[in-house]
Structure 1
Amino acid sequence: MSDIDELIERLCSAGVEWRAIGDFAECVSGATPKTRVSRYWDNGTIPWMSSGDVHKKVVGSVEGRITQEGYGSCSTHMLPAGTVVIALAGQGKTRGTVAITDIELCTNQSLCGIVLSTSDISPKFLYHFLSSQYAQLRAISSGDGTRGGLNLGMIRAYKVPVPPMEVQEEIVRVLDSFTELEAELEAELEARRAQYAYYRDKLLDFGSRGGVRWMTLGEMGSFRRGKRFTADDYVESGIGSIHYGEIYTKYGLSTEQCCSFLPTKMESRLRFAEKGELIIAATGENAEELCKSVVWFGADRAAVHDDCYIFRSNENPKYIAHALLTNAVMRQKKMLISDGKVSRISGKSLGKILVPVPPLEEQQRIVAVLDEFDALVNDISRGVPAEIEARRKQYAYYRDKLLAFREKAA
């Protein structure tokens, strides 16, 4: 690192100019075609990026595809490769997350694309710098801690350092060496995730085997909607709580402990999940994310947010959690959700989702197989996930060290 340190000292010892993003780039948000209009989506060829895709960091592909008619039906825009993208809103930790595109694509309304209009700034330098600003970007978000959001005005006004291009390129070279190794590990992990999804759908596809009951969730059990609370209510310790955003970002398919807590004085205003009940997220950025769930196995009750439903049945709750992730359920969800800035599903619509219900012994066997796959792709204490976590910490350390520029005096 001594060479780059010497370069920065030689060229930037007096500080560097800081400029507002709006002075050198166009900031563009996207849109979402109506999800219930199948011709906007079926056999689509135009890459459409959702908020969840920002977690890929370097976006070379997206699952979302829309048709030309779908593109024309809304106000989304095509963005060139090399666009820096910031999540304006999103579940849990998504808001403020930054990515850079490797392909031309369009986005949903919860993303801001930063398209540079100058050659003075490297897109990758801007990406690395804004990645270091996650906490600061979230701090300027409007609204409360769970429903707040960034907007285009905030992004345009945000200031970034502009060191000489020689310095920018050297910083990018160093930081890219870390992210390239992480990308290789992510590719391996993505292959395992695809394998997991394949076996999950295969194990839960009883259509060709026969002899299995098919039931709606409404026939199988009962739903209770959670009660409202916000991040402003959180305390260091107290009543364990589960917010819908945390289901996407902090929990696997089951948990015995809560990540956030509410004051005991709120108890009478809350609704709780009991041990063995399934908590289903009923709000999400898109249909793909909607209905992710977590089984509560804690000894005490857990308070549940009002954008979730608590589901109780006599079936294995982890079996239901796995079933809700299948492509078969995905196809059903798209016909049941309501359109808007975020996707939502009601308790009545949740009750219409149809799943196969084998005997409990078979449910347990399927859960045991899928739990092992789930651990291989999500447990950061073992294997590839653990190595990725270590590389991310190393990258963050050097990124923050290299990008700590002083502002040049006027």
Structure 2
Amino acid sequence: MNEIEQLLAERRRGGVEIMTLGEAGTFARGRRFTKADMVKDGIPCIHYGEIYTEYGVSARTSVSYVREDLRDQLRYARPGDVIVAGVGETVEDVGKAVAWLGEGEVAIHDDSFLFRSELDPTYVSYYFQTRSFQAKKNQHVARAKVKRLSSSGISRITIPVPPLEIQRGIVRILDSMTELQAELQAELQAELQARTRQYGHYRDQVLCLGPSVPIGQVGDFVDFFNARAHEKFVDPAGTVALMTARFISRGEANRFVQPEDVQTPAYEGDVALVMSDLPKGKALAKTFYVDSDNAYAANQRVCLLRSRDARVLLPRFLHRMMDRNPQLLAYNNGMDQTHLKKNDILEVRIPIPPTEVQERVVTILDHLESVSVELASGIASELSARREQYEYYRERLLTFEEKAA
């Protein structure tokens, strides 16, 4: 019998005590500090937003620090405490927990809580990921624009309390599974990055068309259309997909409008291009080829490029030439949000070979891209399967029968 089976057998023997978190331990809210108080070297701290962006189930070191002169004004989590996000943009973010296993204390933000108890802190943090905890937590989240969870609400949520050795055994197994999952993800991501670089290499080779190929400015061959805002027209029942930066960069259509509300229609052969993105963002200058009429609308911060004469410049070739074009990426300074201007785009210089050469280039690059997409899909499926396996065992290990009174 392996360790998982032993623990599953143990938890069936007579059940365990079920306690509210308020009975099992105590909660204390952090104290205020701002991002302006953060420094490169100072008092270790955890900002509430970092709990769901920077940390996993446990942590031994902080990623941020605050000024030394704030020392007496702050509240600190001790080693063995669990730090819980009390605020978030989504219900899922609220209640995310990280067990603090560092050698010393860490300051916590006032939009988070520390939970102190005799329970294994990592066991508690793992339990906060379970479907059972999430369902109970959701009953106590205030659903304003910013989602909030109070300490009084979370203290009423129950938690199974098996013997400490069983808690630690569960942590040991889940830690091992988490580590294996992380290693697999790193390996698969490395493979995907290698294939992506390979695609980029071949793309660059294909696009080296030789000195005899004429070079022209994009503005000499295309018409430019700056898209208008559609936010007030968004309708889940709409049939026209809204081409936002997210849609173009990820291929996920998650916002729609009705045909009569379209402000910037896109037609077959148009090339949509993202004009604005965060510093070092992956969406800037990303393009999308429109393959049908009446299916898409371009949203603000996206433009449409329309070839004036497909006998001179094939729309699909334009799409391939402009997609993350280095001349456009050069406007990203890595510090400020990038906003491409009309002339920045129209002044890009691209090769204009005969259309039969353009067709051959497009065919090769379409094939290379399909291979990359297929690989990415396979990696995503493999990671999803491993994640489901992990969640299955986590739910089984952290579900207990209550001990009879």
Question: Is TM > 0.5 for Structure 1 vs Structure 2?
Answer: yes
Q: 1:228 aligns with which of 228, 231, 238?
A: 231
**Structure 2 vs 1, CA of residues 351 and 93 (structure 1 numbering), >3 Å: closer, same or farther?**
farther
> SS where residue 161 of structure 1 aligns?
strand
Give the CA deviation at 1:226: 2.9
What corresponds to 1:168 in structure 2?
167
> SS where residue 23 of structure 1 aligns?
strand
Q: Is the 8 A contact 2:30 2:75 kept in 1?
A: no
Q: Where does structure 1 lack aligned partners over 5 or more consecutive residues?
A: 35-39, 338-344
What corresponds to 2:180 in structure 1?
181
CA offset digits 1:260-300 (Å, max 9, x no partner): 655x4x843765554544364968xx645574656264634
What corresponds to 2:9 in structure 1?
6
Q: Is the 8 A contact 1:221 1:312 kept in 2?
A: yes
**Structure 2 vs 1, CA of residues 12 and 409 (structure 1 numbering), >3 Å: closer, same or farther?**
closer
Give the CA deviation at 1:327: 7.2
> SS where residue 322 of structure 1 aligns?
coil
What corresponds to 2:296 in structure 1?
302
> SS where residue 54 of structure 1 aligns?
coil
| TM-score for both structures, normalised by structure 2 | 0.59
Q: Is the 8 A contact 2:275 2:302 kept in 1?
A: no
**2: CA distance between counterparts of 1:321 and 1:52?**
35
Pairwise CA RMSD: 6.1
- Does residue 386 (structure 1) correspond to residue 381 (structure 2)? The answer is yes
**2: CA distance between counterparts of 1:48 and 1:329?**
34
**2: CA distance between counterparts of 1:373 and 1:78?**
51
**1: CA distance between counterparts of 2:325 and 2:170?**
45
- Does residue 278 (structure 1) correspond to residue 275 (structure 2)? The answer is no
**Structure 2 vs 1, CA of residues 291 and 180 (structure 1 numbering), >3 Å: closer, same or farther?**
same
Q: Is the 8 A contact 1:319 1:363 kept in 2?
A: no
CA offset digits 1:348-385 (Å, max 9, x no partner): x3327957643265985995597368536632xx2x33
Q: Is the 8 A contact 2:60 2:101 kept in 1?
A: yes
What corresponds to 1:150 in structure 2?
147
- Does residue 358 (structure 1) correspond to residue 360 (structure 2)? The answer is no
Letter in 2 for 1:351: K
**2: CA distance between counterparts of 1:88 and 1:213?**
52
**Structure 2 vs 1, CA of residues 274 and 16 (structure 1 numbering), >3 Å: closer, same or farther?**
farther
- Does residue 120 (structure 1) correspond to residue 122 (structure 2)? The answer is no
**1: CA distance between counterparts of 2:158 and 2:297?**
41
Moved more, 369-378 or 308-317: 369-378
Letter in 2 for 1:120: L
Letter in 2 for 1:387: E
Give the CA deviation at 1:391: 0.5
Give the CA deviation at 1:16: 0.8
Q: Is the 8 A contact 1:271 1:304 kept in 2?
A: yes
**2: CA distance between counterparts of 1:176 and 1:61?**
14
Give the CA deviation at 1:120: 2.1
What corresponds to 2:305 in structure 1?
313
Q: 1:371 aligns with which of 369, 372, 390?
A: 369
> SS where residue 225 of structure 1 aligns?
coil
**Structure 2 vs 1, CA of residues 175 and 194 (structure 1 numbering), >3 Å: closer, same or farther?**
same
What corresponds to 1:18 in structure 2?
20
CA offset digits 1:11-61 (Å, max 9, x no partner): 634x51121599346557885569xxxxx89xxxx9999779738846989
**Structure 2 vs 1, CA of residues 402 and 197 (structure 1 numbering), >3 Å: closer, same or farther?**
same
**Structure 2 vs 1, CA of residues 394 and 374 (structure 1 numbering), >3 Å: closer, same or farther?**
same
**2: CA distance between counterparts of 1:325 and 1:163?**
60
**Structure 2 vs 1, CA of residues 97 and 224 (structure 1 numbering), >3 Å: closer, same or farther?**
farther
Give the CA deviation at 1:183: 0.8
> SS where residue 13 of structure 2 aligns?
helix
Give the CA deviation at 1:392: 0.7
Letter in 1 for 2:302: I
Give the CA deviation at 1:128: 4.7
Letter in 1 for 2:173: V
Q: Is the 8 A contact 2:263 2:297 kept in 1?
A: yes
**Structure 2 vs 1, CA of residues 365 and 303 (structure 1 numbering), >3 Å: closer, same or farther?**
closer
**Structure 2 vs 1, CA of residues 274 and 152 (structure 1 numbering), >3 Å: closer, same or farther?**
farther
> SS where residue 12 of structure 1 aligns?
coil
**2: CA distance between counterparts of 1:196 and 1:85?**
39
Q: Is the 8 A contact 1:54 1:98 kept in 2?
A: no
Give the CA deviation at 1:171: 2.6
- Does residue 397 (structure 1) correspond to residue 392 (structure 2)? The answer is yes
- Higher Rg of the two aligned structures: 2
**2: CA distance between counterparts of 1:156 and 1:399?**
24
> SS where residue 358 of structure 1 aligns?
strand
Q: What is the 5 A alignment of 1:62-141?
A: 88-89=87-88, 95=93, 98=96, 100=98, 115-130=114-129, 132=131, 140=141
> SS where residue 388 of structure 1 aligns?
helix
Give the CA deviation at 1:213: 7.8
**Structure 2 vs 1, CA of residues 399 and 330 (structure 1 numbering), >3 Å: closer, same or farther?**
farther
Give the CA deviation at 1:228: 1.3
Identity %, equivalent residues = 17
**2: CA distance between counterparts of 1:162 and 1:273?**
56
Give the CA deviation at 1:122: 1.8
Q: Is the 8 A contact 2:289 2:319 kept in 1?
A: no
